[in-house]
Structure 1
Amino acid sequence: MLNGEKKIARPLRWGMVGGGRLGQVGYKHRIGALRDNTAFQLVAGAFDIDPARGKDFGVNIGVSEKRCYPNYETMFAEEAKRKDGLEVVSIATPNGTHYEICKAALHAGLHVICEKPLFFTSDEVVEIKALAEEKGKIVGVTYGFSGNQLLLQMRAMVEKGEIGDIRVVELQYTHGFNATDDGDKVNAAQKWRVDPKIAGPSYVLGDLSTHTYYMSQLIMPQMKIKKLLCDRQSFIGSRAPLEDNAYVLMHYENGAVGRLWTSSIDAGCMDGHRIRIVGSKASLEWWDSKPNELRYEVQGQPIQTLIRSMPYLDESCNADERLGALHQEGLSESWSNIYLKFAIAIDAKMRGDQETLDTLVYPDINAGLEGVRWIENCVRSADQGSAWVDFESNKEAALVGKTL
């Protein structure tokens, strides 16, 4: 169980690019990083494209006015001059800026924690992965839902064979908040998401379902996709060529099949984020709206509901427990869990502790690469008229299952 005691020798000096007053995700990053005040200390930021607004915001969250910078270039240069300068930076900016900021941060000698999807192309990820290895730095990806510890329970049960051979994978991440185009016109955080120059080659596939795809890989690290078919639509015509709804069919190398539905026009839906894994003996199902419960359905037996934090769960699951079974946990605890693991990974990298890095389960740059590659294959299939395509992978940068 986690109680805030230090897991590393001292808090890491941390800064942010983006994540300011008008951003949707900045507060989630700060909740995650600062929940355990023994892991990170927020000391600097380039929080906003508007320097005055960014400085005002930074001061209001406790950052020294002198360390609220007008842009990331200035921040990296000035912090490098300080004995107490930044060690790690989080990138909470629109997709199209991730690559250049991440590259600049690594050249400045910083570890990086970046929003998803990581970059536009897998070639960019492969390049940055090589640069991170050259510089001896960690690049983590904020798949914010993946710190829900019952996902680790699912992983353990799959690994132990408790559901048998996996046959069917059902994934869904939908909501209805973009069922009209109102937000596309007035909401700054939504406008860029439907602009391909800033968002990249996809909308909901990258913005929503890369979360769910990574979570499925976290649960089933041995499952590799052989081929897929993607059918995507732009029900709000002005969003084309970016999709606001998509279906993806997947065939895995072991013979299992998968289906994913992602949508931002699921009218009336508040939270359609679910994962169901069907095996030859039993099935597991987790729903983001009930993150403290895991359905375990054994063929021929009563349905069981496994509850977070209980002693019958796997040790790997309960290691991330924070509040006890009597109290509900959710997204803020999930972000806290992955940020704590980022801190442990960075500390291990700084100390040359490869054993910790080899066994730590967190969303690293390999996970980011797999997410970008999955989007590329989905877009390739859709652009070929929703054709089945072989899942293309780069063997040089292939995933290592233990890091998923």
Structure 2
Amino acid sequence: MLNGEKKIARPLRWAMIGGGRTSQVGYKHRTGALRDNTAFQLIAGAFDIDAERGKEFGVNIGVDENRCYPDYRTMFTEEAKREDGIEVVTIATPNGTHYEITKAALNAGLHVICEKPLFFTVEEGEEVKELAEKQGKIVGVTYGYSGNQMVLQMRAMIEQGKIGEIRVVDLQYTHGFNATDQGEKTSAAQKWRVDPKVAGPSFVLGDLSTHTYYMSELIMPEMKIKKLLCDRQSFVGTRAPLEDNAFVMMHYENGAVGRLWTSSINAGCMDGQRIRIVGTKASLEWWDSKPNQLKYEVQGEPAQTLIRAMPYMDETCNADERLGALHQEGLSEAWANIYLKFAVAIDAKNRGDEDTLKSLVYPDIDAGIQGIRWIENCVRSADNGGVWVEFETKKLVQA
């Protein structure tokens, strides 16, 4: 159980780029990072493309006005002059800016925590990974949902053979908030998400499905996709060529099959992220609207609902619980869990503790690169007419 006691010697000096007043994600980052005040302290930021608005916002959340900067380059330069300068930065800006800002941060000697999708191409990801290794720094990716403890419970049960050999993987992340184009007309944050120059080659595949895809990898680390087929649509025509709905079929190397549905035009759906793993003995199913529960259905036995924080749960699951079984946890706690792991990873990297880094399960640079690879393969399949493509290469596969 987590109770706020320190996991590292002292809080890391932390700054944000983006995440200001008009951001859809900034508050999630701050509540996650600052839930355990022994992990991070927010001491600086370049919070907004509008420098004055960003400075006003920073002061309003308690940052010294002299450390509210007009842009990230100025922040890096000025903070490097201070003995108490920043050590780690979160990038909570539109997708198209991640690559350049991450490189600049690493070159400034900073650890990086970045929004997803990480970059536009696998080549960019591999370049940044090499730079991070050269600089001795961590790059983490904020797949926030992956901090839910039940995801680790699923991983443990699969490792223990509780469901047998995996046969079917059924993934979904859908909602209905973009069923019309109203969001693009009223929200700057939504408008850039459907602009290919800023968002990249996808909308919901990158914005939604990368969360669920990463969690499936976390849950089933030994399962590798062999090939996939993607069919994507732009039901709101002004979003083309970016999709607001997509279906992906997957074949795994062990013979299992999978499907994923991702959509922002699932009208009436408030929250549709589900993961179901079907094995030869039993099935597991988790729904993020009921994050404290995990369905465990053994063939021929009554269905079970496992509850977070109970003593029958695996120790890897209960190690991240915060409030006890009687009290509901959710997305805020999930974000706090991954931010705490980022802090532990950064501290271990600073100390040269490779054993801790190898044993720590968190969304790192490799997870970010794999998310890019997922998007690239889906887009390539869809843009070639919905054909099967080998997952690790660009070679088309005959149906």
| TM-score, normalization by structure 2 | 0.98
Stretches of 4+ moved more than 3 A in 1? Answer: none
Moved more, 111-120 or 385-394: 385-394
Give, in whole Å, the separation in 2 of the partners of 1:186 and 1:21.
Answer: 15
Question: In the alignment, what sits opposite 2:96?
Answer: 96
- For 1:88 and 1:94, locate their aligned partners in 2 and report how far apart those are by CA, in whole Å: 19
2:237 match: 237
Name the structure 2 match of 1:362: 362
Q: How far off is 1:184 after superposition?
A: 1.0
- The alignment status of 1:324 with 2:324, answered yes or no, reads yes
Q: 1 CA distance for matches of 2:312 and 2:182?
A: 48
Residue 196 of structure 2 corresponds to 196
Q: How do 1:26-41 residues align onto structure 2 when only pairs under 5 Å count?
A: 26-41=26-41
Mapped to 2, the partners of 1:244 and 1:319 lie a distance apart of 37
> Which amino acid is 1:98 matched to?
H
Could you tell me which residue of structure 1 aligns to residue 219 of structure 2?
219
CA displacement at 1:14 relative to structure 2: 0.1
Q: Which residue of 1 aligns with 2:139?
A: 139
1:78: which partner in 2? 78
Please give the root-mean-square deviation of Cα atoms over the aligned residues, in Å. Answer: 0.7
Asked if the contact 1:373/1:393 (under 8 Å) is kept, the reply is no
1:264-313 CA deviation, whole Å, 9 max, x = no partner?
00000000000000000000000000000000000000000000000000
* Structure 2 counterpart of 1:275: 275
Q: Alpha-carbon deviation of 1:392?
A: 1.9
Deviation of 1:185 (Å): 1.6
User: For 1:313, what is the secondary structure of its paired residue?
Assistant: coil
Match of 2:119 in 1: 119
Report the equivalent of 1:378: 378
**Residue equivalent to 2:159:** 159
Identical columns (%): 81
- Gapped runs of 5+ residues in structure 1? 395-404
Q: CA–CA distance in 2 between the matches of 1:191 and 1:185?
A: 7
TM-score under structure 1 length normalisation: 0.97
Deviation at 1:19, TM superposition (A): 0.1
Alpha-carbon distance between aligned partners in 1 of 2:250 and 2:381, rounded to the nearest angstrom: 11
User: Does the Cα contact within 8 Å between 1:87 and 1:111 map onto a contact in 2?
Assistant: yes
Say yes or no: does 1:183 pair with 2:183.
yes
Q: Match for 1:234: what amino acid?
A: S
Counterparts in 2 of 1:107 and 1:245: CA distance versus 1, 3 Å: same
1:264 corresponds to which residue?
264
- Alpha-carbon separation, structure 1, partners of 2:289 and 2:131: 39
Mapped to 2, the partners of 1:131 and 1:166 lie a distance apart of: 37
Measured against aligned partners, the alpha-carbon deviations of 1:125-172 in whole angstroms (never above 9, x if no partner) come to 000000000000000000000000010000000001110000000000
Using the alignment, how far apart are the partners of 2:392 and 2:297 within structure 1?
34
Deviations 1:224-275 (A, max 9, x none): 0000000000000000000000000000000000000000000000000000
Structure 2 residue 170 is matched with structure 1 residue 170:
yes
CA distance in 2, matches of 1:232, 1:128: 29
Q: Shift of residue 393 of structure 1?
A: 5.2
Runs of 5+ consecutive residues of structure 2 not aligned to the other structure? 395-399
Could you give the per-residue CA deviations for residues 308-367 of structure 1, whole angstroms, max 9, x where no partner exists? 000000000000010000000000000000000000000000000011001000000000
The amino acid that maps onto 1:64 is D
Contact 1:163 1:278 in 2 (8 A): yes
Aligned to 2:4: 4
Partner of 2:397: none
Give the partner amino acid of 2:258.
G
Secondary structure at the residue paired with 2:178? coil
Structure 1 residue 186: deviation in Å? 1.7
